[in-house]
């Protein structure tokens, strides 16, 4: 009888654990473990849905590690924390051959972007790009007649969703997208893509990273807003 009960118990444990298969595929969602600080209301969590539902100052943040997404408690996601995510930062100016200055806050999470002697930089008349283990920054100049095609490609990209233009608060015409961005080296980072129709060129501004989506958003919006102000 004891042997029979043991077999039944083992069988139940095996069947219970069979449903947790781990990562289900980029863009389709991730099975999250039940751990303190991780909200797992459903078995599968769609990355784009999590991003779309993320709100500033709700005490939670989206975390992306390059493969899976988690939603965690975040004490810095609070407008009343003076030295937190929205505190004062040193701003660094990057000169580019594109003819624009890139002005970014040095939050500490993105400081490797300013180490051009350590990480190779592409700096030409048509592109400025740098990739580090934690961040990816890229601006590319395209032909002026490519705007509609680029917009259609981004709208059909299943790893991106369009964001409100009010997020960056600029009078310059632009389209803003957020989601999973594939970097030059083939890494999947979470972040933002800005499509800008200039007078004689179209610009694609990508900013993405590994880690806290809220940190990446602060860095990206600061840089993108200052970039738009130069048009």
Q: How do residues 143-188 score in pLDDT, each as one tens digit?
A: 999 999 999 999 999 999 999 878 787 788 899 999 999 999 999 9
Contacts of 91 (CB under 8 A, 6+ apart): 103, 104, 105, 106, 222
Contacts of 172 (CB under 8 A, 6+ apart): 196, 228, 229, 231
CA dihedral 45, 46, 52, 57 (to 10 degrees): 30
Contact (CB, 8 A) for 189 and 133:
no
Q: Return the CATH superfamily for domain 90-228.
A: Mog1/PsbP, alpha/beta/alpha sandwich (3.40.1000.10)
Using DSSP, state whether 92 is helix, strand or coil. Answer: strand
**What are the extents of the domains in the chain?**
90-228
Q: What percent of the chain has pLDDT over 70?
A: 77
Q: What tokens appear for 180 in the block?
A: 């999973």
Alpha helices in 33-177 (DSSP H): 47-53, 147-156
């Amino acid at each position: 009888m004891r042997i029979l009960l043991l077999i039944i118990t083992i069988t139940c444990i095996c069947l219970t654990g069979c449903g947790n298969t781990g990562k289900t595929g980029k863009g389709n969602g991730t099975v999250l473990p039940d751990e303190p600080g991780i909200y797992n209301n459903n078995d599968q969590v769609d990355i784009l849905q999590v991003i779309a539902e993320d709100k500033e100052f709700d005490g939670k943040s989206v975390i992306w590690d390059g493969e899976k997404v988690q939603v965690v408690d975040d004490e810095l996601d609070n407008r009343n924390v003076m030295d937190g995510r929205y505190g004062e930062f040193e701003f660094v100016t990057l000169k580019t051959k594109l003819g624009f200055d890139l002005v970014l806050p040095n939050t500490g999470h993105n400081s490797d972007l300013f180490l051009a002697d350590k990480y190779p930089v592409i700096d030409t008349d048509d592109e400025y790009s740098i990739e580090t283990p934690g961040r990816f920054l890229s601006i590319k100049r395209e032909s002026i007649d490519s705007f509609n095609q680029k917009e259609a490609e981004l709208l059909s990209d299943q790893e991106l969703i369009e964001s409100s233009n009010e997020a960056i608060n600029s009078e310059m015409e632009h389209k803003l997208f957020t989601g999973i961005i594939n970097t030059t080296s083939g890494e999947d980072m979470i972040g933002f893509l800005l499509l800008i129709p200039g007078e004689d060129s179209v610009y694609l501004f990508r900013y993405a990273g590994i880690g806290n989506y809220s940190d990446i958003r602060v860095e990206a919006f600061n840089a993108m807003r200052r970039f738009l102000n130069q048009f």
